[in-house]
Chains A and B, each alone.
Chain A
Amino acid sequence: MLYRESGQFKTNYKQDSAIFPILQDRIAIMFYLAVAFIVIPIFGSNFFIDSMMIPFLIFTLAAIGLNILTGYTGQISLGSGAFMGVGAYSAYKLVTIFPDTNVILLIVLSGFFAAGIGMIFGLPSLRIKGFYLVVTTLAAQFFLEWAFIRIPWLYNYNDSGAIEVPRREVMNVIVTGPEASSVTRYLIVLSIVVVMTWIASNLIHGRIGRSWMMIRDMDIAAELIGVRPLYAKISAFAVSSFYCGVAGAMMVFLWLGAAEVESFDSNQSFLLLFMVIIGGLGSLVGSYLGAAFIWMLPVVLRALPKLFGLDINTATVEHINFMIIGALIVFFLIIEPNGMARMWSMLKQKLRVWPFPY
């Protein structure tokens, strides 16, 4: 009875074209935002914010990026980890070249570098599809990893080969570097992720998002209708890489504080793909669910045995973690290709008609 659309008549197409046409959905969004912006900063421990919320949000953003390319446009990519790297290294260069510019602005701008590189590596998608395209994205991954190591200019010729985040202030608040507080970094990450989710949702529900999905579902028909595959595919690569790039920049600047090439290797790309598959291909909510699941699962697995007084060593936990993720991927690919997002919407559908079975 709580979740109903009856009685909420849409009197014009503007209302029906709204992204959350149901009042309860809008209330729920307000509630989540209030929790995220007010409750967590006040009551969340530093540990919770630093090792749960910040990485969860950053992976969500990267998962949204990959979902735009893979879930919405149907171009499977194994290079998203490297595009996070492009964002991270670009942000690092920008911040050292322009030490006095607002670091948050530079983090967002670094997305454009990732977008540019993404467009270049997206060009093969105009000619090749499916498995062969996956291979070219993997080649992009390896090429970029190579560049991150072999071009010392990218890490300012540090002996360690790592990028280390300098201390930067914005309006006298320390934002990056070891002295920056968890809550400050969390609020910046949260704001960026919320705004970029909103933008992704706008794109997806409009002309551009439809052209992506048309290419995904039936590229020949899309072209016959008048969608140019060039624009649709390359824009998807650009937007997707932009999102991954900003996520990568935030990962280094607002979470880890330092990074090496390993943070952006093919494991990272696979992890993002798992998030998108488990969460739901072609779903923004799914990107949140998938990132939460993959990031939180090991944390929960580590905590659970202790709750029951059991002592399981970390290696075993790791193995169990991988087994669960592996099993779930097989499960979702075979049984529920739309992932957790689909289960979520079925649950809502049940609530909508509850207590009647149909």
Chain B
Amino acid sequence: MSFDQTTTTADGRTIGGPVMEVKNITLRFGGVTAIKDISFDILEGEIRAIIGPNGAGKTSMLNVINGFYHAQEGQITFRGETRSRMRPYHAAVSGISRTFQNVALFSGMSTLDNIMAGRALKMNKGFIWQMLRYGPAMNEEIKHRRAVEEIIDFLELEHIRHTPVGQLPYGLQKRVELGRALAAEPSLLLLDEPMAGMNVEEKEDMSRYILDVNDQFGTTITLIEHDMGVVMDIADRVVVLDYGKKIADGTPSEVQRNQAVIDAYLGVPS
């Protein structure tokens, strides 16, 4: 299957050329090779899933993409810029934001402040104005508050706006974390198991939010997910990892029929 040119999906979304190309990435921790020579691409506007059994290297892959881990070999091209190492700060600056497998919210801060925190990079008014909370600092605060309120509306978080997130149930925390990632207005959104530990209803809500983000804001999304049903429903293309190696790459239905994938999930030794 080729997406070299702009294509339109069955549900009318536009998918463009590659925004990110991952080439021959190898990541080792001492003797353990978490990722072995993996290459794949992510296309503008698509929902790309990464799946695989536990310990396959999925989270490590996201960590390499946003500069949290440094791969020993290989390189990543994002929007025309090629690099083999970068700091997480620069990934954030270049428009990549993410959520974490184990929620990594600022637990002592309210929902509102957590999502405001997501706009950290967009706010820069100086110390003196911040001291006075006046003029440019106040204008900036209000401007971003308005954008954050839109996210709060979008994710239906109005009722917990002022609640410290540490007190929220897990499902809501995951949603706030999505909100925080969205607040940065990323062009590439990385989601690490956004539906882990959720019940069916919560999963449906989360799937809807992810599809809406992709559809309304045109955000390119890469997500890790264990629930195959969800992956089949929302992903455009799927990369399958097993023991740090890529064993399949294609549309959900292609991947589902792939013998290597079936073996990996059934535990057949390769």
Contact = CB atoms under 8 A, between A and B. Distances in A.
Interface of A: 12-14, 16-17, 19, 199, 202-203, 205-208, 210-211, 213-214, 216-218, 220-228, 235, 282
A177 to B, nearest CB: 31
Interface stretch (B3-11, B44-52, B89-97): B89-97
A226 B89 contact: yes
A218 B137 contact: no
Which secondary structure dominates where chain B touches chain A?
helix
Interface string B108-132: 1100010011101101110100111
A14 B133 CA distance: 11
Given A210-B116, A228-B89, A221 B138 contact: no
B97 A225 contact: yes
A248 to B, nearest CB: 21
A224 B88 contact: yes
B86 to A, nearest CB: 12
Interface size class on chain B is 35 or more
Contact of B120 (A16, A199, A211, A220): A211
Given A13-B145, A207-B125, A226 B116 contact: no
Nearest to B161: A16
B241 interface: no
Nearest to B88: A224
B243 interface: no
Contact of A218 (B92, B105, B142, B145): B105
A221 B100 contact: yes
Given A14-B142, A224-B68, A226-B92, A207 B104 contact: no
A211 B140 CA distance: 15
Contacts of B68: 220, 224
Counting chain A CB atoms within 10 Å of each CB, the highest count among B93, B113, B117, B118 belongs to B117
Counting chain A CB atoms within 10 Å of each CB, the highest count among B105, B118, B131 belongs to B131
A206 B137 contact: yes
Interface string B221-258: 00000000000000000000000000000000000000
Contacts of B140: 207
- The 9 tightest CB contacts between A and B, nearest first, are A202-B133, A217-B106, A226-B92, A226-B121, A221-B104, A13-B145, A224-B88, A207-B123, A206-B130
Contacts of A207: 120, 123-125, 130, 137, 140-141
B145 A17 contact: yes
B141 A206 contact: yes
Which secondary structure dominates where chain A touches chain B?
helix
A15 to B, nearest CB: 10
Nearest to B149: A13
Contacts, number: 98
A220 B104 contact: yes
Contacts of B142: 12-14, 17
B117 A210 contact: yes
Given A217-B109, A220-B104, A221-B106, 17 more contacts: A14-B138, A17-B138, A203-B131, A207-B124, A207-B125, A210-B116, A214-B109, A216-B106, A217-B107, A222-B120, A223-B88, A223-B89, A224-B88, A224-B97, A225-B121, A226-B89, A282-B108
B66 interface: yes
A224 B93 contact: no
B98 interface: yes
B88 A213 contact: no
Given A13-B149, A221-B100, A213 B66 contact: no
Contact of A225 (B118, B125, B133): B118
A86 B130 CA distance: 26
A223 to B, nearest CB: 5
B66 A224 contact: yes
B146 interface: yes
B180 interface: yes
B184 interface: yes
A70 to B, nearest CB: 13
Contacts of A225: 92, 97, 117-118, 120-121, 180, 184
Counting chain A CB atoms within 10 Å of each CB, the highest count among B109, B125, B133 belongs to B133
A277 to B, nearest CB: 15
B146 A218 contact: no
